[in-house]
Structure 1
Amino acid sequence: MERKILDHFRNVGEKVEKVVRSEPVESEKDKDVGMGADGTPTKCIDLKAEETAIEYFKNNLDHSILSEEEGIVEQEGAGFIVMDPVDGTRNSLLDIPFYCISLAFTPSDLSEVKVGYVRNLHTGTEYHAIEGEGSYKEGERLSPKSKSGDENTFSVYLGERAVPESFEVASTPRRVRSLGSAALEICMVAEGTLDLYYHRTPGQRRSLRLIDIAAGALILREVGGEVYNKDLERLNMDIDPSERKDVIAIYDEGVKEELP
């Protein structure tokens, strides 16, 4: 079943990429067209991508769907497709080539994710994982290597909504980035390009949702890494469009020792 679901995820990724690329007018992409299930404004590009994905899944799979704009779409089959059609919307609107579709399948919650698929919608680069079978980028199995502290690169969410500890974390390594797509950044931890992904905010509004991290979490876990909460405990999240959590993603456990 998992292999079949992954094949459908690939099909959806290709379809959504075509939809996103076919939106030529920047003012149309950026237009607010409604309110998402989590109470944040919906951009035109998000809505069109989501409609494309939901239509496909309704015609080809019977699992319920947790999505950014619609929330929970009930279907008769067991389990849930957890979907963010455009993770990194702001990047796409600014023509920064770092935004993706994130798709996962779980029987129940984040801890039980069985299939994860992330596709960069600008480059077409794919990451995927099936539980127990490892993680892959463009068909090549991921096998990250531990680094010394001097070589580490962290991705840290900064700005007016970041917690003070974020700035302490950002001062630890020689190199810091903040790239704007949680799913892709967690995949970069899984491949060893980044050594830490750190996203913490004082309140719930700017913390992350299950749709942002479900696919990336499995891809990271399948190489031996993990996603944690702010207390560095293994993170779990329910099928709930309103739930938001702080997220810390690490491959090498030694990185924990560098955190304040």
Structure 2
Amino acid sequence: MPELIAIATEAAHQAGKLIKDNFGSEKTVNEMHRRDVKLELDVRTQQLIADIILGYHADHRILGEEEGDVGGDGDVEWIVDPIDGTVNYFYGIPHFCVSIGARVRSTKEPLLGVIHDPMQNETWSVVKGGVPTLNGKPISTSIRSEMSQAVVTVGFSKSKSALDAGFERYRRISYEVFKTRMLGSAALALAYIACGRLDAYVEEQISLWDVAAGVMLVEAAGGKIVTRDSTVKPGTMFICATNGKLDIEPYL
């Protein structure tokens, strides 16, 4: 496991340098949708990550947001989001990250997670059975247990049906909590819960690569994760992550 977390950290840092070096420059857009954007840099960053991982283990498999599956047929599967928060990145908002998780391919058992924010020079990491860290220091979720004390982030997805579900949920939650935030990166939302900056995160429609590393971080830091199939788009999931003390489920 030490070798794998070292590989993940190397890949995340090199990818982070690439996207930071290009932050604020003119971007090549591969696809532009009403509520989403796909950049050429997304693809290039994922390729960089894949080259590093497969350079060490050519038999490993990589599941990424860009370009689908690559690699061999080994039993380690990496789950990669090269730029989580691409819309933020495209608009010059410095809140985005590289997210890299790994799991046993046959059983789906998580092995590790790394989230790297190159703009803040922050790296969260965790391995199976280990202590989660931020820049090498142990972290844990917040101790807040009352909704009135909580800071909660609610994600709003791309489809109308997901937005409608999110608006209604946001209305219920926002009346009860201390503050709400909409930040634009699922992986960083989970990382922030893991280190106590946020208390909960909810989103109706999210993909595996957005949350694979962060879910492991939150659980290892003492938090709680609830996932289920999304009601609005097949192949995606609903997620609710908390610090493990906050009872947010009645408001979902």
Match of 1:50 in 2: 46
Q: Is the 8 A contact 1:64 1:76 kept in 2?
A: yes
Mapped to 2, the partners of 1:158 and 1:218 lie a distance apart of: 22
- Which of the residues 236, 242, 248 maps onto 1:250? 242
Q: What SS does the corresponding residue of 1:224 show, helix, strand or coil?
A: coil
Q: Tell me by how many angstroms 1:150 deviates.
A: 2.8
Equivalent residue letter for 1:190: A
Aligned to 1:228: 226
* Distance change (3 Å), C-alpha of 1:53 and 1:197: same
Q: 2:138 matched to 1:141?
A: yes
2:105 is aligned, of 104, 108, 114, to 108
Structure-2 change in CA distance of 1:48 and 1:128 (3 Å) = same
State the secondary structure of the residue aligned to 2:121: coil
**Partner in structure 2 of residue 10 of structure 1:** 9
2:78 to 51, 76, 81: 81
Residue range with higher mean Cα deviation, 125-134 or 137-146: 137-146
On the 8 A contact 1:50/1:85 being kept in 2, the answer is: yes
- Rate the CA distance shift 1:251–1:108 in 2: closer, same or farther, 3 A: farther
Q: 1:170 aligns with which of 170, 174, 184?
A: 174
2:142 and 2:199 in contact (8 A); partners too? no
198, 214, 217: which one pairs with 1:216?
A: 214
Question: Given that residues 115 and 188 in structure 2 are in contact (C-alpha distance below 8 angstroms), is that contact kept between their aligned partners in structure 1?
Answer: yes
Counterpart position of 2:56: 60
Match of 1:154 in 2: 152
- Paired residues of 1:110 and 1:236 also in contact (CA < 8 A): no
Distance 1:25 1:191, change over 3 A: closer
In the comparison of the two structures, how many residue pairs are matched?
A: 238
Q: Structure 1 pair 165/141, CA: closer, same or farther in 2 (3 Å)? A: same
SS at match of 1:114: strand
User: What's the offset of the Cα at 1:63?
Assistant: 1.0
- SS of corresponding position for 1:116: strand
The TM-score normalised by the length of structure 1 is: 0.83
Q: Which residue number in structure 2 is paired with residue 197 of structure 1?
A: 201
Contact kept? 1:210, 1:243, Cα under 8 Å: no
Matches of 1:196 and 1:57 in 2, distance apart? 32
Could you say what secondary structure the match of 2:38 adopts? strand
What SS does structure 1 have at the residue aligned with 2:11? helix
* Local SS of the residue matching 2:126: strand
Contact 2:117/2:123 (CA < 8 Å) preserved in 1? yes
Distance in 1 of aligned mates of 2:200 and 2:134 = 19
Deviation at 1:24, TM superposition (A): 5.8
Provide structure 2 residue ranges, at least 5 long, that are not aligned to the other structure: none
* Amino acid of the structure 2 residue aligned with 1:150: S
* Structure number having the greater strand percentage: 2
DSSP 3-state at the match of 1:143: coil
Give how far 1:73 is off.
Answer: 1.1
Give the corresponding residue for 2:190: 186
Q: Provide Cα deviations, 1:76-116, integer angstroms capped at 9, x if missing partner.
A: 42120000010001111222221000001101389621100
| Normalised TM-score (structure 2) | 0.85
Contact preservation (8 Å) 1:19, 1:49: yes
